[in-house]
Amino acid sequence: MRMTRDALVVLGILFVAAAAHAKPDLDPIIFVHGGSGSGAQFESQAMRFASNGYPHRYIAVLEYDSSSIGTILPAVLAELDALIARLQAETGREQVDLLGHSLGTFVSQTYLSTPARAANVAHYVNIDGAGAGAPPGGVPTLALWAGASPPIDAIVGALNVTLPGQEHIECATSAEAFFEMYHFFRGEAPATTDILPEPPGQVSVAGRVDFFPQNTGIAGATLEIWEVDGATGFRKAAAPLATRLIDATGNFGPIDEVKGGKHYEFAVLRDAQVGIHYFYEPFLRSDHLLRLNVAQGLAPFIDASDDDVALTVTRFKELCGDLGAGSDVLSINGTDVLNPTTASCATVGGGTAAFFAFDDNSDGISNVTSVPFPFGPLAFLSAADLFIPADPPGTVSVVTVPRGDASATRTVNVPNLPSSTDRVVVQLNDFEQ
């Protein structure tokens, strides 16, 4: 029987639609973050898995208040039960692949210690955390260890892999870690360890607006997304590209108005609170693990005035200032704030994933060779006393040279908003490609 052209078109549309909703031969993935962490530590890996054929709906994160894990652990395990059950129902798969990082390995190993729970897990990846005398729950286990210093532990009977030269957070987010994860899950090498760009018009973003480290949604906050000029950080239009009211879940998106290759500001606004403005490097592909985290506990320690800027730079690959020629450079308006005092990676668990630059005591004087209180003893956080003028209105240039590689130098430009009314956050990629 001959078919008309219109009938063939309809069949083609139905085929594409069916393929889009087909259930691939893949187990869904759940990532459990560590102390002072969130699902954002799996952001790059999620995009790598997506680059190798995993649908976004097959990749999930379990988030919790790591500062209270001693009292909330039963509730966290129940949340993991519910998350696994949801993924099983949505994907039709009997099991999931589970990954835990740092404190998340304690959560994961506790979960797997119950046989009925372990039966839901096909593979387990233990990332630079707790050791064990046997694979937890008898589940096939890959143990990844940061190789910047000798591994302090092992899991007997597991596949133990050390990632040479990598730090504690980096060994959860790196391309080398992804290779080991994918190969362990699938029994073959991934097609790529890169984050493959999508056509700009196919990019979408989604995520959460959260209090941190509680990882609880900020009900009543408003999220505005603005396209900005990459050369200045200034907004390109009189109205936001998209606006979302945030509820108690903290969730937003997917937002399709965002396009690949362009520069955006994500502004979190709350009544009677300073605005917080997040600036990302241009998106290569859809990213559904954005985390716009608001760390309320640190706010009282950051002096504010109409005359200076309070800037935070985050990267989920430790910023190291004590590796000699291999050190990172983080230059803010021409001043490198990383040095052996402010960003030491020499100690186990050292390095910083969030760097705060502000005018300590609001005196107009900079001192980037010491760490303002209370940032010194806080894990993965550091700071420097840097006066960044807010007047006259202009641009703050944030330049990164990752691990001394001048060929990977990148710049993010942001407006010099006064710290009395606004805070500025620059989120750097934890990868170079």
Give domain limits for the chain.
5-186, 200-427
In 399-412, which positions are buried (b, 16+ CB within 10 angstroms) versus exposed (e)?
bbbbbeeeeeeeeb
Report how far residue 123's alpha carbon sits from residue 112's, in angstroms, rounded to the nearest whole number.
11
Beta strand 352-358 with 380-385 is parallel
**CATH T-level topology, domain 200-427:** Immunoglobulin-like (2.60.40)
Phi, psi of 172, deg, nearest 5: -95, -20
Phi, psi of 385, deg, nearest 5: -80, 100
Report how far residue 108's alpha carbon sits from residue 149's, in angstroms, rounded to the nearest whole number.
24
Give the type of residue at 124: Y
Give the type of residue at 158: A
Q: Does domain 5-186 have CATH number 3.65.10.10?
A: no
Report how far residue 161's alpha carbon sits from residue 143's, in angstroms, rounded to the nearest whole number.
6
Give the type of residue at 234: F
Residues in the chain: 433
Report how far residue 38's alpha carbon sits from residue 103's, in angstroms, rounded to the nearest whole number.
11
From first to last of the 433 residues of the chain, give the pLDDT tens digit: 444 444 433 433 333 344 445 678 999 999 999 999 999 999 999 999 999 999 999 999 999 999 999 999 999 999 999 999 999 999 999 999 999 999 999 999 999 999 999 999 999 999 999 999 999 999 999 999 999 765 668 999 999 999 999 999 999 999 999 999 999 999 999 999 999 999 999 999 999 999 999 999 999 999 999 999 999 999 999 999 999 999 999 999 999 999 999 999 999 999 999 999 999 999 999 999 999 999 989 999 999 999 999 999 999 999 999 999 999 999 999 999 999 999 999 865 578 999 999 999 999 999 999 999 999 888 899 999 999 999 999 999 999 999 999 999 999 999 999 999 999 999 999 999 8
CB 283 within 8 A of CB 205: yes
Domains 5-186 and 200-427 belong to one CATH topology: no
